Amino acid sequence: MGKLSNMKEWLTVADAARHLSIVLSEDVTEADVLRLALDRQLRLSVYIVGTTIARCGRITGEAIGQILDGGKTPREDLIFVESSIDVVKIGEEIQIYGVWELPMEDGDGNLVAENQWLEQIGGTNVRREFHHGVVLEKEGQYCRLQESLDCLPKNSFFVVRTEALREFERSINDAPASIEKPMATSERNSLLTIIAALCHDSAIKPQERGSASQIANLTEEIGAPVSDDTVRRVLAKIPDALETRMK
Residue pair 228/59 in contact by the 8 Å Cβ criterion: no
Give the model confidence (pLDDT) of 180-217 as tens digits. 556 667 778 888 889 988 998 889 988 888 888 899 89
* 94-114 mean pLDDT: 86
Whether 81 and 150 map to the same domain: the answer is yes
Whether 142 and 190 map to the same domain: the answer is no
Q: Which of 113 and 241 is assigned the larger pLDDT?
A: 113
Whether 129 and 39 map to the same domain: the answer is yes
* 117-133 mean pLDDT: 74
Whether 169 and 114 map to the same domain: the answer is yes
**CA-CA distance, 110 to 107, in Å (whole number)?**
8
pLDDT exceeds 60 at position 223: yes
Overall number of domains in the chain: 2
Q: What is the mean pLDDT of the chain?
A: 81
Domain membership of residue 179 (yes or no) is no
pLDDT exceeds 60 at position 36: yes
Whether 69 and 139 map to the same domain: the answer is yes
- At residue 84, the pLDDT reads 46
**CA-CA distance, 246 to 86, in Å (whole number)?**
25
Domain membership of residue 210 (yes or no) is yes
**CA-CA distance, 82 to 135, in Å (whole number)?**
12
- At residue 68, the pLDDT reads 43
pTM: 0.63
- At residue 3, the pLDDT reads 58
Whether 163 and 198 map to the same domain: the answer is no
Domain membership of residue 180 (yes or no) is no
Whether 30 and 108 map to the same domain: the answer is yes
Whether 102 and 189 map to the same domain: the answer is no
Whether 109 and 231 map to the same domain: the answer is no
Domain membership of residue 230 (yes or no) is yes
- At residue 4, the pLDDT reads 55
Percent above pLDDT 70 for the chain: 74
Q: How many CA atoms lie within 13 A of 23 on its CB side?
A: 18
Domain membership of residue 84 (yes or no) is yes
Domain membership of residue 215 (yes or no) is yes
Distances (CA, A) of 74 to 48, 84, 131, 164: 27, 11, 10, 31
**CA-CA distance, 170 to 199, in Å (whole number)?**
31
Domain membership of residue 242 (yes or no) is yes
- At residue 134, the pLDDT reads 86
Whether 127 and 160 map to the same domain: the answer is yes
Lowest mean pLDDT segment, chosen from 90-94, 103-107, 185-189: 103-107
Last residue of a domain, one of 174, 193, 215: 174
Going by pLDDT thresholds of 50, 70 and 90, the confidence category of residue 55 is confident
Whether 215 and 163 map to the same domain: the answer is no
Domain membership of residue 100 (yes or no) is yes
Give the model confidence (pLDDT) of 150-160 as tens digits. 688 889 999 99
pLDDT exceeds 70 at position 167: yes
Last residue of a domain, one of 174, 194, 222: 174
**CA-CA distance, 38 to 119, in Å (whole number)?**
14
Residue pair 189/244 in contact by the 8 Å Cβ criterion: yes
Residue pair 191/206 in contact by the 8 Å Cβ criterion: no
- At residue 2, the pLDDT reads 59
Q: Give the structural domain span for 23.
A: 3-174
Whether 201 and 170 map to the same domain: the answer is no
Q: Which of 225 and 90 is assigned the larger pLDDT?
A: 225
Percent above pLDDT 90 for the chain: 32
Last residue of a domain, one of 174, 196, 212: 174
pLDDT exceeds 90 at position 126: no
| Kind of pairing between the strands at 10-12 and 156-161 | antiparallel
